[in-house]
Amino acid sequence: MQRVLVVCGAGASSTFLVHWMRKAAQARGLTLTIDAGSQDDLIERLGEVDAVLVGSHLLEDFARLRASADAVGVPAMLLPPLAFDAAGGSKALDLLDELLVPSADEGAAIVGSPNPGSPRG
Domain boundaries, the chain: 2-96
Tens digit of pLDDT for each residue in 31-41? 899 999 998 98
**Element containing residue 59 per DSSP (H, E):** none
Say which CATH class 2-96 falls into. Answer: alpha beta
Q: For residues 115 and 67, what is the distance between their CA atoms, to the nearest angstrom?
A: 26
Cβ-contact 1, 105 below 8 angstroms: yes
Q: Is residue 53 over pLDDT 90?
A: yes
pLDDT of residue 11: 64
Prediction pTM value: 0.80
